[in-house]
């Protein structure tokens, strides 16, 4: 049976915090929450670093921020990268390899792999723009 992954909710984090303060073991807390004890162990490691106390609401805020940051890192989601790729494909007729190599030089801190550009060009989301016509070898 395949398990479906779910993030800990704020309520589960608060229950963990209360039970841990009451001296309940990690395995028992896991049983009560219906979660593996390793999930709880990772949760504490991730959110109570450097000897800081685990605080449920701060852990929830950190988890939310990590989720937002992860989604923003998706390829070509940055307007800067998308516009750079579009401009150089259309106007300069650069290959995705050249674009991927030039991007970090022109805009340090930004990068994209040429395979990502190809995948984005051939994906269904790009049918609206149809950048395939700008590729040198079709």
Tell me the whole-structure pTM to 2 decimals. Answer: 0.53
Residues in the chain: 138
**Confidence grade of residue 135 (pLDDT, cut at 50, 70, 90):** confident
What is the model's pLDDT at position 50? 82
Say which residue the tokens 């909710």 belong to.
9
End-to-end CA distance of the chain: 44
- Given its phi and psi angles, is residue 123 left (phi above 0), alpha (psi -120 to 50 degrees) or beta? beta
Which residues have CB under 8 Å from 134's CB, separation 6+?
Answer: 89, 90, 93
Q: What is the DSSP letter of 50?
A: T
Per-residue pLDDT of 40-78, as tens digits, reads 999 999 888 888 899 999 999 998 888 777 655 566 778
What is the model's pLDDT at position 104? 93
Burial of 40 from C-beta contacts in 10 A (0-12 / 13-18 / 19+): buried
């Amino acid at each position: 049976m395949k398990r479906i992954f779910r993030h800990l909710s704020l309520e589960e984090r608060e229950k963990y915090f209360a039970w841990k303060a009451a001296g309940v073991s990690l395995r028992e807390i896991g049983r009560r929450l219906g979660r593996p004890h390793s999930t709880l162990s990772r949760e504490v490691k991730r959110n109570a670093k450097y000897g800081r106390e685990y605080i449920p609401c701060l852990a929830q805020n950190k988890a939310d921020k990590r989720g937002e940051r992860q989604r923003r890192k998706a390829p070509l989601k940055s307007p800067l990268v998308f516009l750079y790729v579009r401009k150089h494909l259309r106007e300069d007729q650069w290959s995705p390899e050249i674009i991927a190599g030039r991007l970090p030089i022109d805009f340090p801190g930004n990068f994209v792999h040429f395979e990502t550009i190809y995948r984005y060009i051939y994906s269904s989301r790009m049918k609206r723009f149809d950048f395939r016509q700008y590729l040198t070898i079709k």
